[in-house]
A and B are shown apart, each in its own frame.
Chain A
Amino acid sequence: MSSLLKAASKAKRKADAMDVDDVDAGDRPVKKRNKQRVLLLSSRGITHRMRHLMNDLEVLLPHVKKDSKLDSKSQLHLLPELADLNNCNNALYFEARRHEDLYLWAAKTPNGPSIKMHVQNVHTMDELKMTGNCLKGSRGLLSFDKAFDETEWGKLTKEVFTHIFGVPPTARKAKPFIDHVLTFSILDSKIWFRNFQIMEKDPLQPNGPPQTTLVEIGPRFVLTPIRIFEGAFGGATVFSNPEFISPTAVRSAIRREKGAKYGQRKDAEIESSRRKESRKRDEDALAVSKVFA
């Protein structure tokens, strides 16, 4: 009976067994658990900054399993298998292109969805401007702003991020206290990520009344959603961002603008020579060479 039930649920692609331990038999109520494990890996060709960002995420999220770099960028279908091998039901895949553009895939692995985003404005935790600190492995709060609930893709993104960035209480390396908050905010149709330490006391007046202050820990980055696919690392596109312009296009536009100047000059040169040619008078009957031939 239970297996039948399970099969049915699988057919409907209802939350897979990894996500939530379903009530086993029905008669014995088992406490429901949020079980998440995230496979974190990158493609080849990431720069140090991207690598540091990845390390930061690994440090912040104790339920992450980091794997070695994926060799090929075209074989993304390997990723669900890899995740399965590592007992992960989520994947964060950093894809570096041309050693400068960073894309982030956030996916639920066995059967989707997956979100492809472009990562910009990366500041890692190593920067000395971010002065906060928190326990390694403490569970961070997740804060989403209201804009996530206003669009359907926002809702889906929120759900996926909840799975990936929310540390489940059962994570082995998790620590019992809450001392930082991860904020996701949509602004300018981009997702802005910040990480703040929660301080109970104002460091300036340690004996004063307890007052919550925040200090940024880092990292910080901005994600531009590009597409949302139905499957894990593939499948039909269910959302595509019309405003996204690929960084390559931006760069080529800049280059073209630079090149336009040259083109204009060349055009003008050709034009002027042509005009000169057309203005040339044909030889006069009374030309010197004819008269004194």
Chain B
Amino acid sequence: MGKNSKKAAAPVAGPSKAPPPPEPEPQSSEEEEVDEQDGSGSDSDEENGGVDEEGMERLMNALGDDGLDDFDRMQLHLALGGDDSEDDEDEGDGQEDRSSAESVSEDGEEQNAEDDEDEDEDDLDDEGEEVPLDEVESVDADAVPRQKIEVDNTAALARIRETIQLDPTLPWTETLVLSYPETIDVDVDDDLNRELAFYKQALHSANAARALANKHDLPFTRPSDYFAEMVKSDSHMERIRQRLLDERAGIKKSEDKRREREGKKFGKQVQIEKLKERERSKKDMEERLKGLKRKRGDMLDKPSADDDDGFDIAVEDAIADRPSKRGRGAAPGGRGGAKMSRRGRDQKFGFGGAGKRSKSNTRQSTDDFSGSVGKRGGRGGFGRGGIRGHGGGRGGGTRRLGKSKRVAGRR
């Protein structure tokens, strides 16, 4: 019902008077309130305290004749006339109340207190009438949600405080009160910072108190040999300690778990790294071998029987990536090495004799599998062609390499 009447009233109010928008806001909100009361009709006079005369008149103009019946209007006038004086006292916002109250004597303050009581009652009545914001269908843009009436009778508060105040000449040791010179200015919902602020306050007070206690000769620190009943029992403290230990153990455990997980992740990386390393070393090896081949290309093309021994060594050296330790002199045909003696060369390479024919196969040599074969190719002769060489029971030629070398070579 209230809503309906309000709806009906609103369009009338709009065009007929067109109240200027920059009105002080409280008035407009009050207007709204009164609107609703008029709709409900019966108890409109109780609420008049909240409306000043001007606003009322404007409202009545806006409503026109059909808004109020005669009886209501009469009551309204009565109420306005009667309430006028009280309005100033009751509805003056706290500021005014304060300034006036401070200047008044003790009696005046008593009066004031009574007023407050009245106000309280009004307050209670109001609450019955108010419409909660969420029940109203539409709200004016400039309507201010009505707040509860605040009572802040500073004069009375001060007076009461004076009556109960402890003697200011009391030494500090009687009360142990300290004031923290800062306000707590943190976000309420930020738990950590809030508690930190409280902690700081307490710490400041503790330090200040120690200084004061020293000044007043008040025992502050408990000596270590003073034992007495504590606030929390030993069993309770034991539980606390146990909980702390448990917590710590839990943290450690989870930490370990985490590290393990991370280790796993990292282990994969290590594996990949290793594979890459292998790849690299293989490539490296091939390159080295290639280089070696290039260097000794001529030798490889026509491998000589005596030479492959030296080549093997060179390969070995290349693989091991270190210069040959064998004396150069001992390496026959080593480039730049000291020459063999004429005799030695003659012995090795032959001198004169059959010449060309001596190198071609004969029946004998073809049938002979006993080791002279290896002399033709040897192990390194044509790549890996030395299958036979392995089998061959040759004394000096290709040695079987060490395991590590072989493994390295295979890669």
Contact = CB atoms under 8 A, between A and B. Distances in A.
B130 interface: no
Given A133-B230, A156-B160, A32 B150 contact: no
Contact of A15 (B147, B165, B179, B220): B165
A128 B243 contact: yes
B208 to A, nearest CB: 9
Contacts of B231: 59-60, 125, 133-136, 217
Contact of A155 (B157, B188, B236): B157
A187 B184 contact: yes
A214 B210 CA distance: 14
A110 to B, nearest CB: 10
A167 B197 CA distance: 25
A179 to B, nearest CB: 6
Given A217-B231, A242-B149, A196 B156 contact: no
Given A145-B183, A169-B173, A237 B167 contact: no
Report the interface size class on chain B: 35 or more
A238 B383 CA distance: 109
Interface stretch (A72-80, A94-102, A158-166, A279-287): A158-166
Contacts of A131: 240, 244
Highest count of chain B CB atoms <10 Å: which of A20, A176, A177: A177
Interface string A105-130: 00010001100000000000110100
Contact of A20 (B167, B178, B179): B167
A83 to B, nearest CB: 14
B156 to A, nearest CB: 4
A240 interface: yes
Interface stretch (B1-9, B113-121, B332-340): B113-121
B18 interface: no
B229 A143 contact: no
Contacts of B213: 178
Contact of B174 (A112, A169, A242): A169
Contacts of A212: 203, 206-207, 210
B161 interface: yes
A113 B159 CA distance: 11
A186 B156 CA distance: 22
Contacts of A159: 161, 164-166
Interface string A233-270: 00011111110000000000100100010000000000
A238 B220 contact: no
Interface string B175-219: 111111111101010000011011101111111011001000011
Nearest to B180: A145
Interface in A160-197: 160, 162-163, 166-169, 175-179, 181, 183, 185-188, 192, 194, 196
A81 to B, nearest CB: 19
A133 to B, nearest CB: 5
A190 to B, nearest CB: 8
A214 B202 contact: yes
Nearest to B162: A14
A263 to B, nearest CB: 11
A135 B113 contact: no
Interface stretch (A37-45, A46-54, A63-71, A146-154): A146-154
A13 interface: yes
Nearest to B186: A187
Contacts, number: 216
Nearest to B153: A238
B141 interface: no
B163 interface: yes
Given A177-B219, A178-B218, A214-B206, A19 B164 contact: yes
Q: Give the bracket for the number of chain A residues in contact with chain B.
A: 35 or more
A274 interface: no
B132 to A, nearest CB: 8
Contact of B184 (A14, A108, A168, A186): A186
B176 A166 contact: yes
A82 interface: no
A271 interface: no
Contacts of B117: 236-237
Contacts of B150: 240-242
A240 B205 contact: no
Nearest to A180: B231
B314 to A, nearest CB: 67
B407 interface: no
B202 A13 contact: no
Contacts of B175: 34, 142, 162, 166
Nearest to B236: A126
Contact of B113 (A133, A141, A238): A238
B202 A181 contact: yes
Contacts of B179: 143-146, 148-149
Contacts of A149: 179
A285 B315 CA distance: 116
Contacts of A163: 164, 166
Given A32-B167, A162-B166, A198 B180 contact: no
A240 B169 contact: no
Nearest to B114: A236
Given A136-B229, A145-B184, A236 B197 contact: no
A152 B157 contact: yes
A188 B183 contact: no
A185 B166 CA distance: 21
8 contacts: A128-B239, A136-B229, A142-B176, A155-B161, A156-B157, A181-B206, A212-B206, A230-B156
Given A131-B244, A177-B221, A183-B202, 13 more contacts: A20-B167, A125-B232, A134-B231, A138-B222, A141-B178, A153-B157, A156-B157, A187-B186, A198-B206, A200-B221, A212-B210, A230-B160, A237-B151
Interface of A: 12-15, 19-20, 32-34, 59-60, 108, 112-113, 125-126, 128, 131, 133-150, 152-153, 155-156, 159-160, 162-163, 166-169, 175-179, 181, 183, 185-188, 192, 194, 196, 198, 200, 212, 214, 217, 227-228, 230, 236-242, 253, 256, 260
Give the 4 A-B CB pairs with smallest separation, nearest first.
Answer: A143-B205, A34-B174, A242-B150, A177-B222
